[in-house]
Structure 1
């Protein structure tokens, strides 16, 4: 039986957990996740964990934040004057918004605080700075 290697399209079932054991995502009740191994489609640690698995193999992979969504970056937290917001927008703390970069790409941000003149938004990935644990099962090499 062959092992999953770079360039293979694979299908996996996974459950992602935080250090406290809480589940943040799982494919178990859905279709398996399909991706190309080594193509940069997945976080580096997940990709590395699947490499070498055989169909039917199950493993638990502990992925440090630097191989997951990276460390939190304080430069990704910015204050925006309320005057620059669309007039119909009424932001609240915890609300997810979409911000357009100069390149035209939209990135998700979360409102972290609001005062009279400004709102503070955080563009870090919600899982940035967190070590992750994935339970992975290789279902198929396509």
Structure 2
């Protein structure tokens, strides 16, 4: 009889442990910390409310918090959030895509570009970076290797979907 009682006690404790770990109450209290893999939905806007990107209609954005998979401002913004929580954050250029760098604007001969290229076209350089053709005048083209959001303050509406 003692063995059966002990088996029931072990089983009961195991059941309590499972319920605690899977309980919605426990999950609600969990907050994002560095190293967590999370999913968010977001809308990214400029200060004039122009939307430059959003996850609506797509899978949530998944990343590991604290890594370079995402801009530093987003890593900072999600820390301490709970699943289902939403917030709006403003990120200065240093927290996003960095300041605009005039040294990344340069000229090359137009003949070195594909024939259909025109002002506003985007090209990929030999290292996988996107370069924008700012202007073409005569035989010279001005290219800009800055990220299109460099130097801009960004506003993100974020909703934490999951912590894995």
- Tell whether the structures are fold-level matches, with TM greater than 0.5: yes
3-state secondary structure, aligned to 1:136: strand
Distance in 2 between residues matched to 1:2 and 1:90, nearest whole Å: 53
Partner in structure 1 of residue 146 of structure 2: 124
Greater share of strand: 1
3-state secondary structure, aligned to 2:48: coil
3-state secondary structure, aligned to 2:161: strand
Greater share of helix: 2
> Within the alignment, does 1:53 sit opposite 2:75 as a pair?
no
Partner in structure 2 of residue 22 of structure 1: 50
Partner in structure 2 of residue 8 of structure 1: 36
Aligned residues: 136
3-state secondary structure, aligned to 2:129: strand
3-state secondary structure, aligned to 1:46: helix
Post-superposition offset of 1:57: 0.7
Unaligned 5+ residue runs, structure 2? 1-28
Partner in structure 1 of residue 120 of structure 2: 94
Q: 1:71-114: CA deviations, max 9, x gaps?
A: 100010010012433xx5232000111111xxxx2211111111
Distance in 1 between residues matched to 2:44 and 2:149, nearest whole Å: 11
Unaligned 5+ residue runs, structure 1? none
Cα RMSD between the aligned structures? 1.1
Query: Which contiguous aligned blocks of 4+ residues in structure 1 show a shift greater than 2 angstroms?
Result: 82-85
Q: 1:40-90: CA deviations, max 9, x gaps?
A: 1111111100011011111001111111001100010010012433xx523
Partner in structure 2 of residue 137 of structure 1: 159
Question: TM-score scaled to structure 1, two decimals?
Answer: 0.92
Partner in structure 1 of residue 104 of structure 2: 76
